[in-house]
Structures are given as C-alpha cells and as structure tokens.
Amino acid sequence: MGMLPLWKSGEEVVVDVSRMIRPAVDSMKPYQPILPLDVLSEQLGHPPEMLVKLDANENPYGPPPSVLNALRNLQQELPIYPDPESRRLRAGLASYLGVDISYILAGAGADELIDLICRLFLDPGDRIVNCPPTFGMYPFGASLAGAHVIDVWREADFGLDVNGVEKAVRENGTKLLFITSPNNPDGSVIPPEQLARLLALPVIIVLDEAYLEFSGMQSVSSQVPKTPNLIVLRTFSKWAGIAGLRVGYGIFPLEVIEHLWKIKQPYNLSVAGQAAALAALDDHVVLTERAERICRERERLADALAEIPFLEPYPSRANFILCRVIGRDAAELKRYLAEEHGILIRYFDKPGLTDHVRITVGKPEHTEKLLSALHTLSATAS
C-alpha cells in the first residue's frame, strides 16, 4: 500500500505516497459523521419516512414556506457563480444582529468558519484550549493544522472549569480558546460573568452560539466590535431548519476578518444557501416562534425522560437533551431504539460520554414514539 509506480520515459520510478502525507494528517483519527437517512434506512430495514431522526440536532419543522419559495425562484441564478461576498445575506444579517456588515462573514456552515479560523491562526506546534465534552470540530480543525489541543475538561455538571482554562491559557501561550454556549452535547450555557473573566485572558476566544436561538440568552455578537479578542459563530442549520444547505456566519473583529477574506474560497456559499438564508431571516418571526415551540417540547420531554428509571436527563438550553444511562449499556440503548423502533439518537464512544445518549427534541409525535419505546423497554426489563 502507498507505493505508486510512475513511468517516465520508459523507466519506472516508485513513489512512497504514504511518506508524503503530512504527519499531522497521518496521525489524525477520521471524524465520525452521522450516516445519511437512506443509508440508515437500508441498514435498519425501516422505510425512511418511518424513521424518527433525533440524532443530529436538526430542526424537525424544516424551513418555512418562504424559504422553499425562494429556492423555487432560483432558475435564473443557478448557472451563475454565487456572490463571493454574500452581500445581500450579510446586509440582512447586519440589520438582524444590529452589527455593521463589515464584521460579518458567511460560510458553508459554522464548520467552514471553524476550519478557516484554524487555518488563519494555527501553525504546527501552536496551541488551542478545548473544553470537552464538546463539539468535535474544534480539535479536528486544530489537529489538521498540526496544532496541540490542550483539553480542560468540564465539571461534572458540564460547566466550564474557568480556573483550569485560565491556567491552561496562561501557561501554554495558547492562541485560540474554543467555547460553546449552549454547549453540545449537554446544552449548558456560559454565564456572562464567566465569559467576562475569559475575555480578560490573552487569547482569542471563539464563542460558538450554534444553539443560541433555543437558549433564551442574548447573543454576544454585538460585543464583537468593541472586543478585539472575541469571535462569535452562528448558524442557520438548527434554528432555520436548513442544515442541508450549509449556511453559517461569524462576527469577527476587523483585524481578523480582513485576513479571512483573503483565505476563504471565493464561492464558499452556494446560490441556494444564500437565497434560503436570506428568506429565513425575512421570516425570523416564524422561525423564532418555532424555536419557542421546540423549547416547550424540550421541557415536556425532559420531564418525561426523568420518569424513565434508567435515564437521568441534564438541564438543557438547546434543542437536545443529554441523558446519563444508568444500569444499562448506552450503546445498546441506541441500537435497540434504532433497530426495534426506527428511532435514531446519538451515542458517543468518547471519554466522559460512554454512559450517555443525546436526544434531539422533535415534534410532539416524535416524543410520544420515543417515550412509548422507552416505556416498553422499561417494562420488559423489570
């Protein structure tokens, strides 16, 4: 494997491709993404329309009709490359956020912006601080750049270990600190006084607000123009129900955004993504109302999960609930729900989470199906 024969003027040259792969990439573990619905449907033997998808924090209501209309009206624009500066979308975001357009950059999901941030700041050997358990793309982006990831583990209730973060940043000459509010996978938020303490550190803080719309908190986006070390990331994937179109955005200090413009791919956001996100912004009242509906369902689901003898749900301010699984195997619970009932939830085979599952909040009928399956299991076991 890895030895490729090349032919040049009749003479064979052997190239050892594996030795040419960057060491940082060679040593990386692949990211474990969620399988697509059709693949899962085939694997599980349940038709796709019967599956209840509660594994990736997507919005069960999908996009509002205005977004679908905007997509239907794109015939003229499809043959043309998209606006590389996403001007109309950024102008919409500027008035939605109350932040000048010059601070805003849109990306193919918040994921692309995490990747761009890592590529902008990190050289091999640089350091980031990460606060696991949390979203996996921060160490992914840092490792790809060959940077060291310093993990400061969260407390038992998933709150940040602020003293630990302060120490790690100061001792290690860290460039970036990634924090998430609400955090994935547990849904806890970072209190304003903790954020203020962290902002006093000599580090660039990337605050990921992917689930902000479900939290009842104010975004800190408007603080960016007067805070030189703060970057805020947001997304249309969760709140606006268009994860499939890949639209996220960031609010960056001017000194940072100036360089991001140089390194981003020119046509990073598709015509469809830009149009759909703009239509979603125009319909933000409807979307906010849907987010509130999801939050109400979250509270109902949390109360019901607390009644299941083998589950201990954590309080969440996002569109998912993390549960500790007591007295049973969490991976087996995920398998049982998927195979027997077509209900997909998330299990993480990761340190600190092996006895946990994360359940996305769905529609009321999804909650009913899940609870019925859990009660059946509970009755069979006892």
Say if CB 209 and CB 233 are below 8 A apart. Answer: yes
Distance CA 283, CA 70 (A): 12
**Of residues 9-68, those binding ligand PLP (CB under 6 A):** 57
According to the binding rule CB under 6 A, does residue 235 interact with ligand PLP?
Answer: yes
Identify which of residues 57 and 308 has a Cβ nearer to ligand PLP in the complex: 57
Q: Which of 92, 103, 127, 135 binds ligand PLP (CB under 6 A)?
A: 135
Phi, psi of 251 (to 5 degrees): -115, 120
According to the binding rule CB under 6 A, does residue 208 interact with ligand PLP?
Answer: yes
Q: Which of 63, 109, 139, 141 binds ligand PLP (CB under 6 A)?
A: 109
Give the per-residue SS3 of 21-34: CCHHHHCCCCCCCC
Q: Which residue is nearest to ligand PLP (CB)?
A: 109
Q: Which of 70, 110, 205, 357 binds ligand PLP (CB under 6 A)?
A: 110
Q: Which of 55, 111, 126, 186 binds ligand PLP (CB under 6 A)?
A: 111
Identify which of residues 308 and 359 has a Cβ nearer to ligand PLP in the complex: 359
CB of 236 to ligand PLP, least distance (A): 7
Distance CA 90, CA 380 (A): 54
Q: Which of 248, 250, 273, 342 binds ligand PLP (CB under 6 A)?
A: 248
The region of 89-97, 107-115, 165-173, 290-298 touching ligand PLP under the rule CB under 6 A is 107-115
- Tell me the CB-side half-sphere exposure of residue 311, using CA atoms within 13 A: 25
According to the binding rule CB under 6 A, does residue 180 interact with ligand PLP?
Answer: yes
10 Ramachandran zone, left/alpha/beta (phi>0; psi -120 to 50): left
Identify which of residues 234 and 334 has a Cβ nearer to ligand PLP in the complex: 234
The region of 76-84, 195-203, 235-243, 366-374 touching ligand PLP under the rule CB under 6 A is 235-243
What the block records as the tokens of 323 is 């549960």
Burial of 32 (0-12, 13-18, 19+ CB in 10 A): exposed
Identify which of residues 64 and 248 has a Cβ nearer to ligand PLP in the complex: 248
What the block records as the tokens of 266 is 């020119």
Please report the DSSP string for 311-373 in residue order. Answer: EEEPP-SSSEEEEEE-SS-HHHHHHHHHHHH-EE-EE--STTTTTEEEEE---HHHHHHHHHH
Q: Which of 130, 184, 219, 316 binds ligand PLP (CB under 6 A)?
A: 184
CB of 116 to ligand PLP, least distance (A): 12
Burial of 324 (0-12, 13-18, 19+ CB in 10 A): middle
According to the binding rule CB under 6 A, does residue 210 interact with ligand PLP?
Answer: yes
Residues at the site binding ligand PLP, with contacts judged by CB under 6 A: 57, 109-111, 135, 180, 184, 208, 210, 235, 237, 243, 248
